[in-house]
Structure 1
Amino acid sequence: MTVLARKTAPALLALALFGGAAQAALVPPQGYYAGIEKLKTGEGNFSCEAAPKPYTGSLQFRSKYEGSDKARATLNVASEKAFRDSTADITTLERGVSKMVGQYLRDGRPAQLDCVLTWLDTWAKADALLSTDYNHTGKSMRKWALGSMSGAWLRLKFSNSQPLAAHQAEAEAIEKWFARLAEQTVRDWSDLPLEKINNHSYWAAWSVMATAVATDRRDLFDWAVKEYRVGVNQVDDQGFLPNEIKRKQRALAYHNYALPPLAMIASFAQVNGVDLRKDNNFALQRLGEGVLAGARDPSQFARRAGQKQDMDDLKVDSKYAWLEPWCALYQCVGDTQQRKHEMQPFNSFRLGGDVTRVYDPNVQSKK
């Protein structure tokens, strides 16, 4: 053995012994391991509807804010209807998958799982949502859909009940499709100028994070963390996001909308050994506290944005689904904990479904 070989052999041995630990398989937070609540026989009231038609066309959609000024805060009713109509099959897929996964994990009926797999496999085989002919609204729909599907998929993939064990071929095909969608999402949302990075980028990063864990892709995980850090580094000392303040009367609503993907990414990163809680002097905590204060009294947001705030979204409990991962990160107490309990359970299809079941499973579901 040469001198060089003798010197490098111990290093290579150490790499062999410890390299695997450094790149351990990616995992979700503990709540994703929950099994089926109660196995029920037969199909009950469940009937699998036909899968929505796979969307394989151009991702060129009208914006619901079409014709608005640069604040992009004034709803255009006609263009919103056109948008809803043209994206109906995509949204049906998102909502349907999330709902059926939730039903399956409650009831354990095989027909529910079969239906989820049929829907996703149908779209995967069609290479749906992969068009490179897209506008901003189109690439937004792609990343929203991916986050919804991968978020729900994680609950199946990691469940202690192992529902996918007997469906490995379908699962592999679906996950390959997810990975392709994530790779395109990375291309869609990378290298934007800072003034263009807002809640859309955070939702893109969440979709990529969920897919990273579903497919055990460290490169996707690293990209999601990088985009998260770009986001939280924009939070100022008062807890404001400058690019969401630009939304004028909807500034507070968009700060609230920015929180779910950021909190989910931080939660997923933490369980994989990357602690993002302290980034930019606890920016995520500061952002959440600012939104909660704004929901009680929006005057500070009104002063900063220069307009009275539209509070409609802030009156919808499900819009606060970010409280589940956020409180897991920062251990909410007192008034914040009480507000969370009053609004639970949180169900957000864009986060994969029943977020409360993942983060606060002892909460009794409200019927």
Structure 2
Amino acid sequence: MTTCLALAFGGIAQVQAMPIEEREKLDLSDYSVTDPDASYFDIQERMELLQETNNSLLMQHREELAKYAPSCRQRLNIPTITEKMRIPGFYPTPDDWKLATEPLFKFEDTVSELAGAYVASGNEYYAECLVQFLDKWAQDDALLDFHYHWKEPQAWFSLESMIFAAGMAYSVVRPHAEGLGEEKGRVEDWLNELASVHMEIEGAESSCCNNHFYRRALYASMIGVLTEDDDMFRFGVSAIHSALHDMTEEGAFPMEMERGRRATHYQNYALLYLIPIMEITHRQGYEVYEMEVNGGTMHDAVDFAMDILEDPSVLGDLAPREQYTGFLKDDQYFAWMEMYRARFGESRFDDFLASMRPIYNRGAGGYATLYFMDPDVQQHLVIDEEEKRRTRAFEGLSRN
């Protein structure tokens, strides 16, 4: 049994997560890949909506992405990462971390921007460019060599987001990049190998079972679909079971609550990966949103996240009420809300999302507002996307 000591407001509470051995014994044989061309949203339907919409926010966002679309030649000139990847920790050496992660973030932004440019413009040039970009990395066996030690896991952490950024972006263009069968074959083989090598490391202490497990499960579910690898897909689905198993009656994820003053941030952060996994699995035909473990569903986790965002006193004895709120200024952390709101029409999110849009997460969801927002929800224009991007300088998911 994986046991963690969670520092709670009222004292020390034992947190018992689903052990890896139990997780591996879950019978998930009912889950298999049914449609390898299904991304995490309906691409064709969304592109048609974007061309017809008169929603001013979506129109501006679409036009900005098409207008400032990346140059394929410039993106193909970005050097691949083939040397052993070693990343210093964010908290002890933030300046060194920023320098080391810049090329990693450039990769994530590149794949997400090319996918977004395709959806915004409908121009297959960007779909083909994304395949060619990833094929270059595949041919160079990029990212397969990275340093890992349980005391120095940052390269392993950083690679997580690179893999799901590539997988989710590629899923957007895969069915539409015709005539590139050989290139797509190499890309898919590389993505599967990269995911398999990374998954061999279970992670020490909480990384085996907390939000970092959900991050691994996100790339596993997406790449499992893309490569028709049922075992990998099921690894992704296992994160839903694990999260629901660990969840309290209130809907809290105990291993995220142990972060103390950052408990609210990490409850939200866990959903940033779990909800896309739910979307990917749902697109394969499974009603995972209604999945119950010990009477709890993912809706309970969502409700608890919103409750503590609105009123930290709801945390009770789980964590201090004086919560870190810096993440509330960064839209990338709320891509999951666009997805959930689109599926369930949860109006409770509307005021919060209105101040954040357009929401962009370079890995876990890409251009979430462009891909998911209901045109009837919000009409007013937003600040320039390039301006928003500049304000995010070096803010990244990989630090966590």
- Taking structure 1 as the reference length, the TM-score comes to 0.79
Tell me if the contact between 1:213 and 1:221 (Cα under 8 Å) persists in the aligned partners.
Answer: yes
1:25 to 5, 28, 35: 35
Does the C-alpha gap of structure 1 residues 30 and 247 become closer, same or farther in structure 2, counting only changes over 3 Å?
A: closer
Aligned partners of 2:67 and 2:321: how far apart in 1? 52
Q: Offset of 1:326 from its aligned partner?
A: 2.3
Correspondence 1:244-323 to 2 at 5 A: 244-277=256-289, 278-280=291-293, 281-301=295-315, 303-306=317-320, 308-323=322-337
Aligned partners of 2:333 and 2:148: how far apart in 1? 28
**Letter of the structure 2 residue corresponding to residue 283 of structure 1:** T
**Letter of the structure 2 residue corresponding to residue 82 of structure 1:** D
**Letter of the structure 2 residue corresponding to residue 326 of structure 1:** Y
Supply the RMSD in Å over aligned alpha carbons. Answer: 3.0
**Corresponding position: 1:144 with 2:156:** no
Aligned partners of 1:360 and 1:317: how far apart in 2? 14
- Taking structure 2 as the reference length, the TM-score comes to 0.73
Structure 1 stretches of 5 or more lacking a match?
1-20, 67-78
Q: Offset of 1:44 from its aligned partner?
A: 7.2
Tell me if the contact between 2:256 and 2:267 (Cα under 8 Å) persists in the aligned partners.
Answer: yes
**Letter of the structure 2 residue corresponding to residue 149 of structure 1:** A
Aligned partners of 1:270 and 1:118: how far apart in 2? 29
Does the C-alpha gap of structure 1 residues 64 and 30 become closer, same or farther in structure 2, counting only changes over 3 Å?
A: closer
- Write the deviation string for residues 73-112 of structure 1: whole angstroms up to 9, x where unpaired: xxxxxx1221221122121011111112211222244553
Correspondence 1:162-173 to 2 at 5 A: 162=176, 164-173=177-186
- Write the deviation string for residues 133-170 of structure 1: whole angstroms up to 9, x where unpaired: 32421111111101111111111014xxx2x1122221
Q: Offset of 1:198 from its aligned partner?
A: 1.0
SS at structure 1 position matched to 2:215: helix
**Letter of the structure 2 residue corresponding to residue 145 of structure 1:** M
**Corresponding position: 1:104 with 2:115:** no
SS at structure 2 position matched to 1:118: helix
Aligned partners of 1:184 and 1:32: how far apart in 2? 30
Tell me if the contact between 1:195 and 1:243 (Cα under 8 Å) persists in the aligned partners.
Answer: no
Aligned partners of 1:295 and 1:261: how far apart in 2? 18
Aligned partners of 2:333 and 2:273: how far apart in 1? 12
Moved more, 254-263 or 53-62: 53-62
2:214 to 191, 202, 207: 202
**Letter of the structure 1 residue corresponding to residue 79 of structure 2:** K
**Corresponding position: 1:64 with 2:90:** yes
Report the equivalent of 1:92. Answer: 106
SS at structure 2 position matched to 1:279: coil
**Corresponding position: 1:157 with 2:169:** no
Tell me if the contact between 2:141 and 2:190 (Cα under 8 Å) persists in the aligned partners.
Answer: yes
Aligned partners of 1:307 and 1:196: how far apart in 2? 27
**Corresponding position: 1:335 with 2:341:** no
**Letter of the structure 2 residue corresponding to residue 300 of structure 1:** V
2:246 to 231, 234, 237: 234
Report the equivalent of 2:71. Answer: 47
Tell me if the contact between 1:196 and 1:243 (Cα under 8 Å) persists in the aligned partners.
Answer: no
Does the C-alpha gap of structure 1 residues 183 and 22 become closer, same or farther in structure 2, counting only changes over 3 Å?
A: closer
Aligned partners of 1:84 and 1:291: how far apart in 2? 29
Report the equivalent of 1:75. Answer: none
Q: Offset of 1:344 from its aligned partner?
A: 3.8
Rg larger for: 1
Tell me if the contact between 1:61 and 1:138 (Cα under 8 Å) persists in the aligned partners.
Answer: yes
Aligned partners of 2:374 and 2:141: how far apart in 1? 36
Structure 2 stretches of 5 or more lacking a match?
1-30, 52-62, 385-400
Aligned partners of 1:110 and 1:285: how far apart in 2? 37
Report the equivalent of 2:196. Answer: 183
Between the two proteins, the alignment pairs up a number of residues equal to 327
RCO greater where, 1 or 2, for CA within 8 Å and sep 6 or more? 2
SS at structure 2 position matched to 1:353: coil
